[in-house]
Chain A
Amino acid sequence: MRYRLLTAAFAAGVAYSAGPVGATDLEVTHWWTSGGEAAAVAELAKAFDATGNKWIDGAIAGSGGTARPIMISRITGGDPMGATQFNHGRQAEELVAAGLMRDLSDLAAKEKWTEIVRPKSLLDSCTLDGKIYCVPVNIHSWQWLWLSNKAFEDAGVAIPKNWDEFVAAAPALEAKGIVPLAVGGQPWQTSGAFDVLLMSVGGTDTFLKVYKDKDAEFAAGPEIAKVFKAADDARKMAKNTNVQDWNQATNMVITGKAGGQIMGDWAQGEFQVAGKVAGKDYSCLPGLGLNATIATGGDAFYFPLLKDAEKSKAQEVLATTLLDPKTQVAFNLKKGSVPVRGDVDLNTANDCMKKGLDILAEGNIIPWTDQLLTQDTQKQKEDLFSEFFANASLTPEDAQKRFVDIIAAAD
């Protein structure tokens, strides 16, 4: 204990002597480690450093599934970082309820967050019992099908306009040795792909009935059977993917080794790093071309409650910086996501981003699983769908029965 105190004192001494007076180090943890993501987070660090403080980067590789337990154990274990990324919604719900997170309501009132952040649902997901606990930084939507134009040219078929055409084009792609649909082995990818199919093939109401109302009887019905049929098509098309990480799967689409991928708009960051142009090298279909609706999930920063007054002040500075219009544009252009404020200039946005913005403007938005389901339910879903996509002997009917059980037990 004494040793730890000494090291802490020593570290603090070094930190203070190194920086100018008033500069505070703030460790920020996140799981943005792929090429496009790292470029985006560097923008945040740059903006925060410009305020005279110092961004200590705490990137944790291996996607949210690996990173979240580390972050949570640090917070619950009494060694909190300065700020941390979560997907806003129910991931940090219990941390907030246990009083481990900082209430940002005063700052939010001062800077009128309720007026600048849109759509309103974003801030609602940060709110618990009327208090605001996180700063949303971007709007991410899962509901996209990314298509490699080159793959379809090679196969000699037209670029599909929706999921059904895509399924129909699969044999032509396979004949050329192209994997029609790239799905990485990480469990969240298969379960996410199913959710997108549920919303696109089933429709918005179906999606909400299952995940929001948790209507198990409905989940057992023919509407959902149709979705499982589509998922069955998807797993047949994804059979030869053999990669794990989502960005490796995206890379298959970028290089034309795969026809398409159901993935969130963060995939677009990878296309940009690879120098690909939307519309020319790749196409995107929001809602799989069937139901042009996107979810307003995304990333947010939470601030653990700290005792150190200096650091608490730096937290406020960081919160302000994150919502700054300039930071928002710089960050989101690199990340491939949409800014959380409506009043910023987005002339530089590309085709796919503009499609997303149009859908937002029309108000075709939907709450996503991060907001609707607990991590427990999400994990059970992941178990089911990673088995479903890998094991051809699990029939769609059996999988649906297990899906109904999960929904029935969800809270």
Chain B
Amino acid sequence: MTPTDAGRPSRLFRNLNAKIASIPMVLTALVIFVGGTAWTVVYSFTNSKLLPRLSFVGTTQYERLWAAPRWHMAVENLAVYGVLSLVFSLAIGFLLAALMDQKIRFEDTFRTIFLYPFALSFIVTGLVWQWLLNPDFGIQQVVRNLGWESFTFDPLYNADIVIYGILIAGLWQGTGLIMCLMLAGLRGIDVEIWKAARVDGIPTWKTYLFIVIPMMRPVFVTTLVIIASGIVKVYDLVVAQTSGGPGIASEVPAKYVYDYMFLAQNLGQGFAASTMMLLSVVIVIVPWAYLEFGRRRRHG
């Protein structure tokens, strides 16, 4: 493109109305998101207690954070929950979508049933599963009443497996949405491709795995972002199901942040923890964004 000559309006003033209209949103983004984030990071280096105070103490808050057994437990739980939730929601979601895509009868009914849990909030989901997994009223008691007296299934009361109890509830709530996204992706695949694959004699599963899934890349990326953001902010599900218990066995980072900011009246510690959460998100997002958008620019 040739440089703009004096006669043409500069690029800054092109689409002026649209630019003016977006100023409030730009300001909101800058002040609330970027500004708020910067404020939090700055105050994480102070010893603010109940009220924010600018008296810097260096990295003391971070040292204390990484020395706290509860924070280690929270990070570990998030890692287990995150990896498993990512793998299982993608796998189950795609499997359900593929099954739905076989031109079955009552597809609408099934879709509604699978999507229904998503209409419930995490708090309701958590409470429902708290009852289902309660050894005295839930699944364990039902099976015992059927005659298996020694049957034990009480994940929420067993510190070693409590995070899986939360995972079950999370998957139950979330996979319906993933299924719908996947189904939309599958429906977007041209019928001609299926026909071509059939003519070439490629088995259905291979067509899915090597042709359809690579073509659904944009859908997978969207899904990944939705699942990942759900994982990092998991909080209400834990609060409703176990409040972090038994002991501290099902703590998650978001709960640590809340507890230290508001219960312990130690804002500095809470800010340090939330900065660590931000950092982990940035570490995941930046390389991904670089790959995703960097490549597009090169092609375009």
Residues of A within 8 A of B (CB): 65, 68-69, 72-73, 76, 91, 93-95, 98, 185-186, 242, 244, 374-376, 378-380, 383, 386-391, 402, 405, 409
- Interchain CB contact under 8 A, A94 and B245: no
Contact with A along B23-55 (1 / 0, CB 8 A): 000000000000000000000000001110000
Taking a contact as CB atoms under 8 Å apart, the answer to whether A386 and B247 are in contact is: yes
B247 and A391 contacting across the interface, CB-CB below 8 Å: yes
Q: What is the number of residues of chain B that contact chain A, defined by CB distance less than 8 Å?
A: 27
Q: A242-B135, A402-B69 are in contact. List 4 more A-B contacts (CB 8 A).
A: A374-B265, A376-B264, A376-B265, A376-B269
**B111 interface residue, CB < 8 Å from A?**
no
Judge whether B248 is part of the interface by a CB distance below 8 angstroms.
yes
B107 close to A (CB within 8 Å): no
Q: Is B118 an interface residue (CB 8 A)?
A: no
Pick the interface stretch among B6-14, B91-99, B207-215, B255-263.
B255-263
3 pairs of A and B residues whose beta carbons are closest in the complex: A390-B247, A69-B262, A379-B264
A387 touches B50 (CB 8 A): no
Q: In this complex, what residue of B is CB-closest to A91?
A: B265
The answer to whether B263 touches A95 (Cβ under 8 A) is no
| A388 near B247: Cβ-Cβ < 8 Å | yes
Q: Given A72-B50, A95-B50, A374-B49, are A391 and B265 also a contact pair (CB < 8 Å)?
A: no
User: Could you tell me if A375 and B243 are in contact, using CB atoms closer than 8 angstroms?
Assistant: no
| CB contacts between A and B, total, < 8 Å | 77
Q: How far is the CA of A95 from the CA of B68 in the complex (A)?
A: 27
Alpha-carbon gap, A95 to B260, bound state (A):
17
Contacting residues of chain B (217-253) with chain A, CB-CB under 8 angstroms: 243-249
Q: Let me know if B70 and A387 touch, CB within 8 A.
A: yes
B292 sits at the interface (CB 8 A): no
Name the A residues within 8 Å of B244 (CB-CB). 386
Q: In angstroms, how far is the closest chain B Cβ from the Cβ of A379?
A: 3
Which residue on chain A has the smallest CB distance to residue B261?
A: A69
Instruction: List residues of chain A with CB within 8 A of the CB of B249.
Output: 387, 390-391
Q: Which residue of chain B is the closest to A379 with respect to CB atoms?
A: B264
B159 at interface by CB-CB < 8 Å: yes
Shortest A64–chain B CB gap in Å is 9
Q: How far is the CA of A402 from the CA of B70 in the complex (A)?
A: 12
Q: Which residues of chain B come closer than 8 Å to A380, judged between CB atoms?
A: 68, 264
B265 CB contacts on chain A under 8 angstroms:
72, 91, 94, 374-376
B266 within 8 A of A: yes
Report the bound CA distance from A73 to B262 in whole Å. 9
* In the complex, per-residue mask of B58-73: 1 if CB is within 8 Å of any chain A CB, else 0: 0000001001111000
Is B101 at the interface (CB under 8 A from chain A)?
A: no
> Which residues of the other chain, A, contact B266 by a CB distance below 8 angstroms?
375-376, 379
- Of all chain A residues, the one with the shortest Cβ separation from B134 is A242
Q: Could you tell me the distance between the alpha carbons of A383 and B71 in the complex, rounded to whole angstroms? A: 10
The CA of A402 and the CA of B159, in the complex, are separated in Å by: 20
Residue of A nearest to B71 (CB): A383
Query: Please, how many angstroms separate the alpha-carbon atoms of A390 and B266 in the complex?
Result: 25
Smallest distance from the beta carbon of B24 to chain A beta carbons, Å?
Answer: 16
Contact B263 A375 (CB under 8 A): yes
Contact at A387–B262, with CB atoms within 8 Å?
A: no
Give the distance in Å from the alpha carbon of A374 to the alpha carbon of B266 in the complex. 10
A387-B248 contact, Cβ under 8 Å, with A72-B50, A94-B50, A242-B135: yes
| CB closest residue in chain B, given A378 | B264
**CB atoms of B50 and A185 under 8 A apart:** no
The answer to whether A94 touches B51 (Cβ under 8 A) is yes
A65 contacts across to B, CB distance below 8 A = 263
Q: Which of B64, B245, B263, B264 contacts A386 (CB 8 A)?
A: B245
Known: A242-B136, A379-B264. A389 touches B247 (CB 8 A): yes
Q: A376 to chain B: which residues have CB within 8 Å?
A: 49, 260, 264-266, 269
* Closest residue on chain A to residue B268 by CB atoms: A376
Kindly state the separation between the CA atoms of A409 and B63 in the bound complex, as whole angstroms.
12
Q: Is B157 part of the binding interface, using a Cβ–Cβ cutoff of 8 Å?
A: yes
Chain A residues with Cβ below 8 Å from B68 are: 380, 383
Is A94 a contact of B49 with CB atoms below 8 Å? yes
Taking CB atoms, residues of chain A closer than 8 Å to B136 are: 242
Which A residues are in CB contact (< 8 Å) with B247? 386-391
User: In the assembly, what is the distance between CA of A171 and CA of B49, in Å?
Assistant: 46
Contacts of A95 in B (CB 8 A): 50
Q: How far is the CB of B250 from chain A (nearest CB, A)?
A: 10
Instruction: Pick from B67, B263, B266, B269 the residue with the most CB of A within 10 Å.
Output: B263
Q: Which of B259-283 contact A (CB under 8 A)?
A: 259-260, 262-266, 269
| A379 contacts B263, C-beta separation under 8 Å | yes
**Would you call B243 and A98 a contact (CB within 8 A)?**
no
Residues of A within 8 A of B51 (CB): 76, 94, 98
Which of A76, A242, A383, A388 is the most central at the interface, judged by chain B CB atoms within 10 Å of its CB? A383
- Inter-chain contacts of B259 with A (CB < 8 A): 379
Select from chain B the residue with minimum beta-carbon distance to A405.
B67
By a CB distance below 8 angstroms, the chain B residues around A375 are: 263-266
**B-chain residues with CB within 8 Å of residue A378 when the two chains form the complex:** 264
CB distance from B206 to the nearest CB of A (A): 48
Cβ contact within 8 Å between A379 and B260? yes
Bound CA–CA A405/B247 (angstroms): 19
B69 near A69: Cβ-Cβ < 8 Å: no
CA distance A76 to B249 in the complex (A): 33
A405 to B70, CA, bound (A): 14
26 A-B residue contacts at CB 8 Å?
A68-B263, A69-B262, A72-B265, A76-B50, A93-B50, A95-B50, A98-B50, A242-B135, A242-B157, A244-B243, A375-B264, A375-B266, A376-B260, A376-B266, A379-B263, A379-B266, A380-B68, A380-B264, A383-B70, A383-B248, A386-B245, A387-B249, A390-B159, A391-B159, A391-B246, A391-B249
CB distance from B157 to the nearest CB of A (A): 6
CB distance from A309 to the nearest CB of B (A): 27
Complex Cα distance A376/B173, Å? Answer: 35
Q: B205: shortest Cβ distance to chain A, in Å?
A: 45
Q: Which residue of B lies closest to A242 (CB)?
A: B157
**Cβ contacts under 8 Å, A73 to chain B:** 262
